[in-house]
Amino acid sequence: MASQDHTSHRAQGDELRRFIRQILHRVGLPASDADTVGSLMAEADLQGSDGHGVIRLPQYVQRIESGGINRHPDIRVVQERAAMAVVDGDNGMGHLVVSRAVRLAIDKAREAGVAWVGTRHSNHAGPASLYARMPLAHDMIGLYFAVGNANHLPPWGGMDMLLSTNPIAAGIPAGDEPPVVLDMATTVAAYGKVKAKAKRGEPMPEGWMVDRQGRPLTDPNRAHEGFLMPIGGHKGYGLALIVGLLAGTLQGAAMGREVVDFNADHVTPTNTGQAILVIDLAAFGGAAPFKSAVDTLVRDIRGGERLPGVERIWLPGEQSHGKREAYEREGAPLPDALLQDLDRLAERLGVEPLRRAQPEPVGA
């Protein structure tokens, strides 16, 4: 297990938060902003969203140091009605902009029943599920849409990569059961999974990508020669487009040709757009009957007959829920290569390195 996923160390949540906060403060973020971002990034690692947590820290630091992020943004509401607002992030860290947007949507939904708050001039903000889950504590539903920060998806039948893997996330309160939390890219595989296959020297399954002749592309080292495939063919293309229009265009954020590839360009403001829809169960007859109905449905699904060879039927978000519980006790697993990157970053910036637990014995 340990050797398979290149993980031999774990970091506790408190230590992850401390480390990220100090690094971000050292490169110029105000202490309270560094604290907010550190908490959200650590939360990503602690729920198993390991492509969106501390692994992004070196890239964020590079963008901040290059002037591609505004360290002291004036994050403000630029359009507002009873059930909507647009938050201009002034090119601040995406985590600050989106968490502000979600808090505002929760406040508005409490009055209006439902509220939509979108962002412009925001930035990459980590896993979509972080934000879709925030309304859960208030017995509210969250639906989250975002424009991805690099275009890897062409329209169906095309080759110009005008679309990103624009994710959809939903957080649905349950009663005794874990909440139902969906977090999905509109492509068969997210680009991060392609990179992970390359790192492990494994081929991709057919269906993840095609080359410029439309043939299956399975060598992850040739990923730059092809495109990601949308789920359900033209359907996933349609979904990615609609999500981009709602999360980007509606708020005046980047979409299509305007999207900046933030993996390659560390300076140009991304004008990232995100949007959250919050639905207050109190307005729909109260949280209790809804949550009880969700519990029943969850148990019907989990307890149903299974296809041969299937050990368990999972609900969306159930595996992350299990990881969250385990990682809060044991710490989040971090690959050695990442730990080395983080150590170098800490040394360069004069911050105490990330403390981690000793390696577990292989096979533990």
| Candidate ranges 88-96, 114-122, 259-267, 354-362; the one touching a copy of itself (CB under 8 A) | 114-122
Does residue 51 touch a copy of itself according to CB under 8 A?
A: no
Asked if 284 is part of the footprint of a copy of itself (rule: CB under 8 A), the reply reads yes
- Ramachandran region of residue 26, left (φ > 0), alpha (ψ -120 to 50) or beta? alpha
Site for a copy of itself in 57-96 (CB under 8 A): 79, 81-84, 86
x-or-dash string of contact with a copy of itself, 238-257, rule CB under 8 A: xx-xx--xx--xxxx--xxx
> In DSSP terms, which residues pair with 278 in a beta bridge?
115, 142
| Concatenated DSSP letters of 52-81 | SSGGGHHHHHHHHHTT-S-SS---EEEEEE
Our finding on whether 236 is near a copy of itself (CB under 8 A) is yes
Structure tokens given for 265 = 């360009």
Q: Give me the 146-185 binding string for a copy of itself, x by CB under 8 A, dash otherwise.
A: --------xxxxxxx-x-----x-x-x-------x-x-x-
Q: What is the DSSP string of 164-208?
A: ----EEEEE--SSSPPEEEEE-SBSS-HHHHHHHHHHT-PPPTTS
User: What CA–CA distance (Å, rounded) separates 108 from 87?
Assistant: 14
Query: Per rule CB under 8 A, is residue 259 in the interface with a copy of itself?
Result: no
Amino acid of residue 64: I
Token pair listed for 267: 């300076």
Residue closer to a copy of itself by CB (options 5, 284) is: 284
Total residues contacting a copy of itself by CB under 8 A comes to 79
| The binder of a copy of itself chosen from 232, 268, 348, 362 (CB under 8 A) | 232
Angstrom distances, CA of residue 77 to CA of 110, 120, 272: 18, 10, 16
**Residue number with CB closer to a copy of itself (146 or 294):** 294
Provide, rounded to whole angstroms, the least separation between the CB of residue 158 and a copy of itself.
Answer: 5
Query: In angstroms, what is the minimal distance from the CB of 303 to a copy of itself?
Result: 9
Task: For residue 134, state whether it binds a copy of itself (rule: CB under 8 A).
Answer: no
Please, which residue, 184 or 349, has the CB nearer to a copy of itself? 184
Tell me how far apart the alpha carbons of residues 146 and 275 are, in angstroms, rounded to a whole number: 6
Q: Quick check: 38 and 29 in contact, CB under 8 A? A: no
